[in-house]
């Protein structure tokens, strides 16, 4: 049993910090309250953890990572040429990076079937939700992971097979993608009816759904099809002049009633590091890099529009793709606040409570409350003062076990 005394505790009742004590026993939180109300039987047998200069929050939830991807420029070739044992070792290592950076729950959003062997609650790893291979059209995005399906029967069978093999979430490739060779990112992969078939089948097995979506057309298809969480919302179109991907926001497509609004995961930090040399003035940008920086600026404008429209967000990074690392969930949080204009309370909520709800774990993790798993982190600085506070996670507990101090 641990008696944890921080400087402040982030509570979901009002999404703010409060003075108090958290008591954990075994895997669970057993008491939260004011210090003067702490029952004596806890003080008699509990070990005191003094965190009086730190801010206590629920462990972070990263809803979109790829544990078998190595974040290199050759990510696809390295994935397809690696053995099962090599990919599992890589996933173990990168999962540990997630946990030590404060991510106590994560969803792998596309992998080989072999990844499911890690188990949902392995030692020294975050609590894991597995999608397995994404459901994709023939030769569609990430087809090489092994689940191509298009007919109604194929789609329903694909969902059933995922459930039988132990997947705990279902990923749909609603458009093409950028890292898959010869796959057009602006091409819709499925119709509304096909998406509905996948989503309805997944919900029969209580599998939360998410859809990779890089275009406005794809967003409209996914929202009409009932997808639980739409990923990226890049609003890409193909420039007729240059042939490059540029962003075009069409507000009326996104003006849905609140009950119709799906969860959104953007991944503003995805590949962000690739432009750091020119972003920070270390060298002059090429014309292509100037274009990419402008498209990055437009992305943050789009995200801000979506925040104003009242969309609920969760946090995901796409860790594992080009230049996107597993110990940098903090970058997504700070960018959502500093550049997209999300409030610090919404940043925290998106990265904890709402992320847990998105993964179907809202009754187990994501908030600090009696009966929930003791997944906790401590920051040296309050996120109320700086979004960069998430870079300084100095203490981590998962399932009541201290894994970083």
Longest Cα–Cα distance of the chain, Å, equals: 73
**C-beta separation of 225 from 199 below 8 A:** yes
233-252 pLDDT per residue, tens: 999 999 999 999 999 999 99
pLDDT (0 to 100) of residue 90: 97
Q: What is the band of 283 on the pLDDT scale with cuts at 50, 70, 90?
A: very high
Angle, CA of 352, 236 and 340, to the nearest 5°: 40
If asked whether residues 31 and 148 sit together in one domain, one would say: no
Close Cβ partners of 56 (under 8 Å, ≥ 6 residues apart): 4, 6, 7, 8, 9, 10, 22, 368, 376, 377, 378
Can you give the CATH number for the domain in which 127 is found?
3.20.20.140
If asked whether residues 319 and 395 sit together in one domain, one would say: no
Instruction: Return the closest-CA partner of residue 370 out of 17, 30, 59, 8.
Output: 30
Statement: residue 121 has pLDDT above 90: no
**C-beta separation of 13 from 33 below 8 A:** no
**C-beta separation of 129 from 137 below 8 A:** no
pTM for this entry = 0.97
Would strands 229-232 and 263-265 be described as parallel, antiparallel, or unpaired? parallel
* Integer Cα distance of 7 and 4 in angstroms: 10
Count CB atoms within 10 A of the CB of residue 326: 25
Alpha helix (H) residue ranges in 205-234: 216-225
* Integer Cα distance of 270 and 317 in angstroms: 6
* Integer Cα distance of 189 and 167 in angstroms: 22
Statement: residue 120 has pLDDT above 90: no
pLDDT (0 to 100) of residue 378: 98
If asked whether residues 321 and 237 sit together in one domain, one would say: yes
If asked whether residues 342 and 231 sit together in one domain, one would say: yes
If asked whether residues 51 and 67 sit together in one domain, one would say: no
* Integer Cα distance of 216 and 233 in angstroms: 7
**C-beta separation of 68 from 116 below 8 A:** no
Would strands 170-173 and 209-213 be described as parallel, antiparallel, or unpaired? parallel
* Integer Cα distance of 9 and 348 in angstroms: 12
**C-beta separation of 11 from 55 below 8 A:** no
* Integer Cα distance of 302 and 297 in angstroms: 9
Would strands 393-398 and 376-379 be described as parallel, antiparallel, or unpaired? antiparallel
**C-beta separation of 132 from 187 below 8 A:** no
Phi, psi of 284 (to 5 degrees): -75, 140
Tokens for 126? Answer: 């975050």
If asked whether residues 150 and 232 sit together in one domain, one would say: yes
If asked whether residues 318 and 215 sit together in one domain, one would say: yes
Give the domain-ending residue among 320, 342, 358. 358
The region, left, alpha or beta by phi > 0 then psi within -120 to 50, assigned to residue 146 is left
If asked whether residues 312 and 379 sit together in one domain, one would say: no
Q: Is the dihedral of CA 41, 45, 51, 55 positive or negative?
A: negative
Domain of residue 400, residue span:
2-58+366-404
Q: What is the mean pLDDT of the chain?
A: 96
**C-beta separation of 315 from 366 below 8 A:** no
Number of domains in the chain: 2
If asked whether residues 12 and 84 sit together in one domain, one would say: no
4-20 pLDDT per residue, tens: 999 999 999 999 999 99
If asked whether residues 43 and 20 sit together in one domain, one would say: yes
If asked whether residues 49 and 73 sit together in one domain, one would say: no
Statement: residue 74 has pLDDT above 80: yes
Query: If you ran DSSP here, which 8-state letter would residue 24 be given?
Result: E
Using H for helix, E for strand and C for coil, what is the string for 27-54? CEEEEEECHHHCCHHHHHHCEEEEEEEE
pLDDT (0 to 100) of residue 123: 80
What is the mean predicted confidence (pLDDT) over 306-334?
A: 97
If asked whether residues 230 and 267 sit together in one domain, one would say: yes
261 exposure class (CB count in 10 Å sphere: 0-12, 13-18, 19+): middle
Q: How far is CA 103 from CA 115, 124, 173, 219, in A?
A: 18, 11, 25, 28
What is the mean predicted confidence (pLDDT) over 325-352?
A: 98
pLDDT (0 to 100) of residue 43: 87
Statement: residue 258 has pLDDT above 90: no
Tokens for 183? Answer: 């796959």
What is the mean predicted confidence (pLDDT) over 86-106?
A: 97
Close Cβ partners of 208 (under 8 Å, ≥ 6 residues apart): 129, 169, 170, 202, 228, 229, 358, 359, 360
Can you give the CATH number for the domain in which 49 is found?
2.30.40.10
* Integer Cα distance of 218 and 187 in angstroms: 8
* Integer Cα distance of 346 and 348 in angstroms: 5
What is the mean predicted confidence (pLDDT) over 162-170?
A: 97
Would strands 263-265 and 209-213 be described as parallel, antiparallel, or unpaired? unpaired
**C-beta separation of 393 from 102 below 8 A:** yes
């Amino acid at each position: 049993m641990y008696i944890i005394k921080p400087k402040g505790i982030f509570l979901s009742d009002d999404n703010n910090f409060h003075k108090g004590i958290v008591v954990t026993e075994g895997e669970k939180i057993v008491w939260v309250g004011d210090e003067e109300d702490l029952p004596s039987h806890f003080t008699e047998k509990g070990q005191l953890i003094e965190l009086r200069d730190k801010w206590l929050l629920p462990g972070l939830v990263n809803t979109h990572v790829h544990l078998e991807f190595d974040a290199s420029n050759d990510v696809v070739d390295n994935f397809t040429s690696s053995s099962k044992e090599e990919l599992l070792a890589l996933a173990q290592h990168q999962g540990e990076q997630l946990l030590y950076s404060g991510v106590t729950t994560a969803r792998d959003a596309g992998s080989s079937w072999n990844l499911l062997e890690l188990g949902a609650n392995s030692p020294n790893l975050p609590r894991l939700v597995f999608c397995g291979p994404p459901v994709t059209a023939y030769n569609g995005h990430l087809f090489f992971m092994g689940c191509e399906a298009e007919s109604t029967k194929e789609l329903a069978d694909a969902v059933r097979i995922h459930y039988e093999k132990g997947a705990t979430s279902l990923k749909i490739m609603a458009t093409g993608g950028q890292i898959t060779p010869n796959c057009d990112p602006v091409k819709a992969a499925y119709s509304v009816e096909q998406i509905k078939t996948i989503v309805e089948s997944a919900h029969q097995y209580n599998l939360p759904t998410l859809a990779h979506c890089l275009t406005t057309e794809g967003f409209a298809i996914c929202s009409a099809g009932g997808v639980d969480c739409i990923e990226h919302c890049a609003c890409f179109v193909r420039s007729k002049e240059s042939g490059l991907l540029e962003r075009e926001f069409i507000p009326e497509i996104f003006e849905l009633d609140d009950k119709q609004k799906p969860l959104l995961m953007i991944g503003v930090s995805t590949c962000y590091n690739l432009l750091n040399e020119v972003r920070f003035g270390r060298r002059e940008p090429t014309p292509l890099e100037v274009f990419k920086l402008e498209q990055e600026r437009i992305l943050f404008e789009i995200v801000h529009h979506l925040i104003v429209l009242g969309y609920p967000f969760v946090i995901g990074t796409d860790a594992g793709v080009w230049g996107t690392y597993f110990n940098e969930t903090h970058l997504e949080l700070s960018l959502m606040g500093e550049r997209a204009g999300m409030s610090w309370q919404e940043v925290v909520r998106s990265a904890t409570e709402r992320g847990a709800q998105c993964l179907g774990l809202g009754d187990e993790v994501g908030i600090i409350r009696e009966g929930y798993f003791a997944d906790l982190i401590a920051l040296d600085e309050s996120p109320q003062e700086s979004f960069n506070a998430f870079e300084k996670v100095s203490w981590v507990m998962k399932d009541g076990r201290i894994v970083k101090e």
